[in-house]
Amino acid sequence: METLKTKEQLDSLIKNDNIIALFSADWCPDCRVIEPTLPEIENEFPTYKFVLIDRDQFIEVCQDYDVFGIPSFIAFKNGQEAGRFVSKDRKTKEEIIKFIQGVSA
């Protein structure tokens, strides 16, 4: 999973790739729970580039995309938002996979 370094990097990724943006933070216990399953999820969806966005480093990006709870996911395809799984609730591996399958269809 690629870690976002700049807002410009995100803009470029959205424009040029199909991405799954994961909004997270080091202090978030629900984010830590899903962390071990993320490599498996990434392997299951090779047509997407997965990008980790640290909520604390990129609060303005969170505001731009109305992400106020973490962990949250937004899918981008062909330069546009294709779907979102955004809430403050804990997410399971199965819920994340179902979300990505829904935007992949």
Q: Where along the chain do its domains lie?
A: 2-104
Verify whether residue 31 is a known catalytic residue. yes
67, 88 contact by CB (below 8 A): no
Nearest-angstrom CA–CA distance, 4 and 41: 19
Which helix (DSSP H) or strand (DSSP E) does residue 90 occupy?
A: none
Query: Which one of the listed residues 10, 14, 22, 28 is annotated catalytic?
Result: 28
**28 classed as catalytic:** yes
Q: Which one from 19, 31, 34, 53 is the annotated catalytic residue? A: 31
What tens-digit pLDDT sequence spans the chain (105 residues)? 899 999 999 999 999 999 999 999 999 888 888 999 999 999 999 999 999 999 999 999 999 999 988 899 999 998 899 999 987 778 889 999 999 999 876
- Determine the CATH number of domain 2-104: 3.40.30.10
What does the alpha-carbon distance between residue 91 and residue 34 come to, in Å, rounded to a whole number? 7
